[in-house]
Structure 1
């Protein structure tokens, strides 16, 4: 079972990473409540997408054992109309964020609060699309700071994806509502961020790292007030 790591973010939240090497059939055997999950599997998913989908859910169940000694029997990960994962039918106030890319799946599970996580393969796509998701000052800062441009732009895209998931709201414009502050790029660190919703600005902190060669990871957990 390639559960790569579990990191406790707070007394009520954990971050997990899964290094995917199993077939869908092997992952099915690791998944509880198989009868409940069978109709939820995306009908058009190929073997790679099936394995990513299953690994994310196996990971969430593993994280639930870190949050509570006896997970609820009705803990089944669903997706809402936007594709965002959620956990219905539980009285434990669990919130979840899930991401997968290539051979990795990442998840944050928390009792209450807001969570967001994203993992990305480093590639040139984010740099090519920079004008569509970066504000002018963010783009200028990226051009000045990026020694490894593909890594840096992939990190910026991932950070905005995490902030988008934290907001849990449709119709957000990445370029004007998900704003990243200045930071010195390192192997791991924090990025100050601002979320603009209905004219109200809120401040957040996006943590980042490179969990494996060729990948960037970003996440945020904010406990309930």
Structure 2
């Protein structure tokens, strides 16, 4: 399938979503891997992880005319070694997505709806968020996916270590639609509160949430 969804925003941000249907060989034909990334890929033994990494590289090939070099900070945050453009990356077995902005921090996450959210509820859902969850199973599942995605995107945006997803993040009530906004609060350990508005989109059996500074 390849390029599945692409959108350019007025604030300069851009999202590209790639549907991973190709083989590893086909993806390597689409994009030329720098030698360093080719060596890193050789150390990845999980076939699915290799496909996800190559799909991200295919997106970068779509976004940039010149060759760009992808690196990762110690905390896992991705960056372009030869560009000041900010980016964030997320993927599932089906999709890989990249969010970019010329200068502002960004964070993106994507999640499959058809999964068990029991562990997510224990790890990441606070009492205020549990209070607005629907009694309808399908709506509840969508809300849980959006809360989790929003917190993951916010975590990537803040790029801080050891964040407590319950104590340091709060998501305001979500009434799910196909697209929309999510209001969130991040509580710094020094007591400072920061308000954010994230955006989301339902992509078939997935949800995608992103934040641009």
Both structures adopt the same fold (TM-score exceeding 0.5): yes
Moved more, 50-59 or 80-89: 80-89
Gaps of 5+ in 1: 66-70
Q: Which runs of structure 1 show a deviation greater than 6 angstroms over 4 or more consecutive aligned residues?
A: none
TM-score by length of 1: 0.86
Query: What's the CA shift string for 1:102-121, capped at 9, x where partnerless?
Result: 21011101111110111111
SS at match of 1:153: helix
Paired residues of 1:123 and 1:151 also in contact (CA < 8 A) = no
TM-score (norm 2): 0.90
Gaps of 5+ in 2: none
- Contact between 2:33 and 2:57, CA under 8 Å: does it hold in 1? no
Indicate how the Cα distance of structure 1 residues 42 and 171 shifts in structure 2: closer, same or farther if over 3 A, else same: farther
What residue number does 2:30 align with? 30
1:83 counterpart residue number: 76
Over the aligned positions, Cα root-mean-square deviation in angstroms equals 2.0
Q: Is the 8 A contact 2:52 2:96 kept in 1?
A: yes
Is this contact kept in 1: 2:110–2:207, CA < 8 A? yes
User: Cα deviation per residue 1:167-211 (whole Å; 9 max; x = unaligned)?
Assistant: 111111110112111232112111101112232111111111111
Q: Specify whether residues 13 and 19 from structure 1 end up closer, same or farther in structure 2 by C-alpha distance, changes over 3 A only.
A: same
For 2:17, what is the secondary structure of its paired residue?
strand
Partner of 1:68: none
CA distance in 1, matches of 2:17, 2:150: 17
SS of the equivalent of 1:141 reads: coil
Contact 1:126/1:157 (CA < 8 Å) preserved in 2?
no
Report what 2:161 is aligned to: 170
The number of residue pairs the alignment matches comes to 212
